[in-house]
Amino acid sequence: MPLRACLALAACIAASLLAPSCGSSSSTAPSTTTQTTTPPVTTVLAISGTTILDVGMTSQLTAKNIAGIVVADAQWSSLAPAVATVSASGLVTAVSTGTATIRATASGSSGTVGVLVQAPTGSVVTLSTCTNITQPGRYIVDRDMPDRSPCMSLQSVSNVQLDCQGHWMRAIVMTNVSASTVENCLVAANVKITGSVGVTVSRSTIANGILWAVSSSGIVFDGNTATVLGTGFGAIVVLDGGSNNRVTNNVLVGGYNGTPSAVGTDDGVIVTNETGDVIEGNTISDFYDAGVEGVAAVTNTRIANNVMSNIGVAGVSSYWCTRWSGNVVEGNSVTRAPQFAQFVYLTGSKCGAVMTPASFVGNRFVGNSLRNATAPWLGSGGRKGMFVVIPEPVSSNLIRNNDFGTEPGPQLTPLTGFINGGGNICGPFDPNVSNFDCAAAALGLRRR
């Protein structure tokens, strides 16, 4: 694979983590840095259920493992039983106003979720101007506020419910916020969350801005529509340096026009040094690089049931300091892209402050599909199901029940680091473009 292709792929990736638009950067050569040992993977449980309750209400929580399977034998506990208790089956009861962390554990795995308990009745604050919110409570917006940026600022506060009621405003910024919700907002810039826990942004429209979570956990971006039609943005959704964050049921549109040029937004979702995330059920279209891209360490993350179309390089990818372990990539549909997935290892400033050593261990690619593949406009490993070239350690990566249609099978290097789980479909085996024979009973039967 030409080096210039790999370098060109990620030209705008890291800049999106620092600013909405990206600038130029110099190319760097790939590194062959490896490590001889791989740290153990700790599985994170994903907890779902209603987490904003009035006093006296109950909510049934459910814990799922990294494969999305309900864990029936989870042990539940509340870290603040004076606020909310939880039964052995995961039924939460709201006791008094405040915030409680509910924990589930099972077979060495664990997960937490914040529960906000509020008074059954209370006054609602109506906002008619841009505001710095520093007190808990319910807030509604009664008019458009297009002039000031950021318009809404939440700082060092918990238990806030902000309902914009479909009104426009510029950026919303949240710092050190917990157990809060923002919904029904029309935002003409970024929604940025920093150092926060248990914040949900839902049913909102983002135009020419980023849904952005930095050093945060339990952040949920759900049911939003985000569109960036101009060129220069690195991504529409950014998760950076956090854990247990969720990007679900969003519609992301990036403005790529399908030509051999970097038009529109680079990536739909970009994940940097995160663990335990869920990226599921999203519709991701028109991005000139990837639908979902990882940078540096991505662990125990579920990328599932997303529909991606008109993607310039690959549905799922990672280029810079790639270190993936324990991730599940399942049930995704990719159309009009050269490849379903591409993973390489490059070092340089795009990696961030730390050059994470290469690793690709214990990842699962199950039940994904590629249709109507397009010609690779960057020469990025050719047109095929998957392209993986990662320095060791590479081991125990499962490839099962993926349907790449008539496209050539994946090229996986080193091939010994992958397990053929069977049920994979691709075009006739061609050793000139692939070392994975989809029809073979096990990997290694045919190799270049």
Q: What does the pLDDT average to over 283-291?
A: 95
Peptide bond into 150 cis (omega under 30): yes
Percent of the chain with pLDDT over 70: 86
Burial class (CB in 10 A: 0-12, 13-18, 19+), 2: exposed
Supply 183's token pair.
């919904």
What was the pLDDT predicted at 52? Answer: 78
Supply 399's token pair.
């490839």
Amino acid at 165: Q
Q: What does the pLDDT average to over 240-251?
A: 96
Token look-up 């956090």 returns 242
Which stretches does DSSP call E strand in 9-108? Answer: 46-48, 52-54, 58-60, 62-64, 75-78, 84-86, 91-94, 98-106
Domains and CATH numbers, the chain: 1-43+291-448 (no CATH), 45-242 (2.60.40.1080)
Helix (H) or strand (E) holding 8: helix 3-9
418 Rama class: left (phi>0) / alpha (psi -120 to 50) / beta: beta
Band the pLDDT of 330: cuts 50, 70, 90: very high
Question: Chain-wide mean pLDDT for the chain?
Answer: 85
Q: What does the pLDDT average to over 247-251?
A: 96
What was the pLDDT predicted at 437? Answer: 84
Band the pLDDT of 340: cuts 50, 70, 90: very high
pLDDT per position as a tens digit, 17-75: 333 333 322 222 233 233 333 334 445 788 888 787 878 888 889 888 877 788 889 99
Q: What does the pLDDT average to over 259-265?
A: 85
Does residue 103 have a pLDDT over 70? yes
- CB 252, CB 232: distance < 8 Å: no
- CB 424, CB 392: distance < 8 Å: no
More confident residue, 437 or 31: 437
Lowest mean pLDDT among 37-51, 131-145, 177-191, 298-312: 37-51
Residue 139 CB: number of other CB atoms within 10 A? 20
Residue 106 CB: number of other CB atoms within 10 A? 17
What was the pLDDT predicted at 409? Answer: 85
CA–CA dist 130, 409 (Å, integer) = 54
Token look-up 């409680």 returns 100
More confident residue, 346 or 33: 346
CA–CA dist 49, 277 (Å, integer) = 16
pLDDT per position as a tens digit, 216-225: 999 999 999 9
By C-alpha distance, which of 78, 84, 86 is closest to 98? Answer: 84
More confident residue, 44 or 286: 286
Phi and psi at residue 284, in whole multiples of 5°?
A: -125, 115
What was the pLDDT predicted at 14? Answer: 32
CA–CA dist 305, 393 (Å, integer) = 28
Percent of the chain with pLDDT over 90: 61
- CB 69, CB 48: distance < 8 Å: no
pLDDT per position as a tens digit, 364-392: 999 999 998 887 765 556 678 899 999 99
